[in-house]
Amino acid sequence: MDGAASKRSRIRRGRRRFLLLNVGVALLGALAGAGLVALGIGFDLDVPAWGEPPGWATVLGAILVGAGAVTLVGGMLYLVGTGLYRRNARSPLWGENRARRRELVRQARGLLPVPDVDLPLVRRVAAQMDGQWTQWIPLSGVVLAQIGQVFIRWGPGWLALALLVTVASGLPAALIARHEGQARAFLRAHPEPPASKKEPTG
């Protein structure tokens, strides 16, 4: 009983940490997006410029900033609506300690052997990893808005900042995509066994 109660307590703590982390990420993303939009609208910084931006660049920049804001908000709503956050928050994997969760993830990526007794749990971990790329949708909104700044502000400093934001967002996205591909390969190699049919009892 004590072991079961301890596991339930770890699950509750893990879910709380997961929800708090995602709320924090959402708030930071919203603040970053709002700040980028505000900078694009009218705040002036002492940054070297190439000169007065041409009309087409101003229009394109405004479109990109607006599209970035919409993508940021829409991406957060999409993640909530598809149930990705809810599935992760309710996962019984939160009952495992951190080292065990890391081991399960490495097994789901095909980097460690999987004992038969762990196969159902690792299969579930791999299923949860499938679709994680959608978490990059809100970040792509921030990238779009930052690229829009390059056209609105028309300066090398803004170009350097846009490249920095793009690389900082793209590297995690590439890792997520790689891990997701490995998880899908694991699921293909270890499919769910067909449900056994119960013999009729007479």
Angle at which helix 136-153 crosses helix 55-81, to 10 degrees, equals 170
The whole-number average pLDDT for the span 12-23 is 60
Judged against a pLDDT cut of 90, whether residue 136 lies above it is answered with: no
Q: Are 68 and 144 in contact (CB under 8 A)?
A: yes
Query: Which of 108 and 90 is assigned the larger pLDDT?
Result: 108
Q: Are 123 and 102 in contact (CB under 8 A)?
A: no
Pick the closest to residue 186 from 103, 120, 126, 139 (CA basis).
126
Instruction: Report the pLDDT value the prediction gives residue 92, as an integer from 0 to 100.
Output: 64
Instruction: Report the pLDDT value the prediction gives residue 181, as an integer from 0 to 100.
Output: 92
Report residue 67's pLDDT band, with 50, 70 and 90 as the boundaries: very high
Query: Which of 4 and 146 is assigned the larger pLDDT?
Result: 146
Q: Are 67 and 137 in contact (CB under 8 A)?
A: no
pTM: 0.62
Report residue 108's pLDDT band, with 50, 70 and 90 as the boundaries: very high
Stated as kind and residue range, the H or E segment containing 22 is: helix 2-41
Q: What is the mean pLDDT of the chain?
A: 77
Weakest-pLDDT range from 10-19, 101-110, 162-171, 186-195 = 10-19
Instruction: Report the pLDDT value the prediction gives residue 139, as an integer from 0 to 100.
Output: 81
- Calpha distance 36→157 (Å, rounded): 14
Q: Are 156 and 48 in contact (CB under 8 A)?
A: yes
Write down the H helix ranges in the chain.
2-41, 55-81, 84-89, 98-108, 119-129, 136-153, 156-189
How many other CB atoms are found less than 10 A from the CB of residue 135?
A: 18
